[in-house]
Amino acid sequence: QSALTQPASVSGSPGQSITISCTGTSSDVGSYNLVSWYQQHPGKAPKLMISEDNKRPSGVSNRFSGSKSGNTASLTISGLQAEDEADYYCCSYAGSNSYVFGPGTKVTVL
């Protein structure tokens, strides 16, 4: 149950697009179409933003999109806004009813 790999921080100016990568292995990210992404503002609970690699739950802005290639998943935020400043975590199903999270990426809006 090794953690996924994410960049510690990503930044962008308002209106720009940024992409956060999430690298796992052929045992987790690469084996299942079950990567999810969570947004967490300071002092708040995580919020589901993307599931099943690229599905956006009802109520989540279409500025958020997910993709995957091989063992690496990505979250793209387009039209970056001040409210997007938060920590973002990827999570993958890892088989045998287990899950693995990434260490989180701090997104800063310049």
Residues that bind other proteins (CB under 8 A): 1, 3, 32, 34, 36, 38, 40, 45-48, 51-52, 55, 57, 89, 91-93, 96-104
Nearer to other proteins among residue 20 and residue 91 (C-beta): 91
**Helix/strand/coil percentages in the chain, nearest 5:** 5, 45, 50
End-to-end CA distance of the chain: 35
Amino acid at position 72, single letter? T
Shortest distance in whole angstroms from residue 101 CB to other proteins: 4
Nearer to other proteins among residue 1 and residue 16 (C-beta): 1
Shortest distance in whole angstroms from residue 99 CB to other proteins: 4
Shortest distance in whole angstroms from residue 84 CB to other proteins: 19
The answer to whether 87 and 77 are in contact (CB under 8 A) is: no
Tokens matching residue 48 = 């589901």
Nearer to other proteins among residue 30 and residue 103 (C-beta): 103
CA atoms of 34 and 55, how far apart (whole Å): 10
Shortest distance in whole angstroms from residue 79 CB to other proteins: 24
**Alpha helices in 1-110, H assignment, sequence order:** none
